[in-house]
Amino acid sequence: MMKSSLNSWILSRVGRSHQSLVHGRRVRVLAELLAANVPRNTSVLDIGCGDGTIASAMQSAVPSIQIQGIEIASRPVCRIPCRSFDGVHIPFPDSAFDVCMFVDVLHHTNNIYDVLAEASRVSRRFLLIKDHVSESPLDFYTLKFMDWIGNRPHGVVLPNNYQSRSQWDTYFAGAQLGLRAWQDQVPLYPFPYSGIFGRKLHFVALLEKKPGAPNTDNWQC
Name, in order, each residue with C-beta under 8 angstroms of 206's C-beta and a sequence gap of 6 or more.
Answer: 37, 126, 127, 128, 179, 180, 181
Domains and CATH numbers, the chain: 2-209 (3.40.50.150)
Mean pLDDT within 40-63 = 95
Higher pLDDT: 8 or 204? It is 204
d(CA 114, CA 134): 21
- Buried/exposed code over 134-164 (b: 16+ C-beta within 10 A; e: otherwise): bbeeebbebbeebbebbbebeeeeeeeebbe
Q: What share of the chain in percent tops pLDDT 90?
A: 67
Higher pLDDT: 156 or 67? It is 67
**Prediction pTM value:** 0.85
Range in 3-12, 22-31, 177-186 the model is least confident about? 3-12
Q: What share of the chain in percent tops pLDDT 70?
A: 84
How many residues does the structure list for the chain?
221
Give the pLDDT confidence score for residue 219 in this predicted structure. Answer: 39
* Three-class DSSP labels, 139-182: HHHHHHHHHHHHHHHHCCCCCCCCCCHHHHHHHHHHCCEEEEEE
Give the pLDDT confidence score for residue 73 in this predicted structure. Answer: 76
Give the pLDDT confidence score for residue 9 in this predicted structure. Answer: 47
Amino acid at 41: N
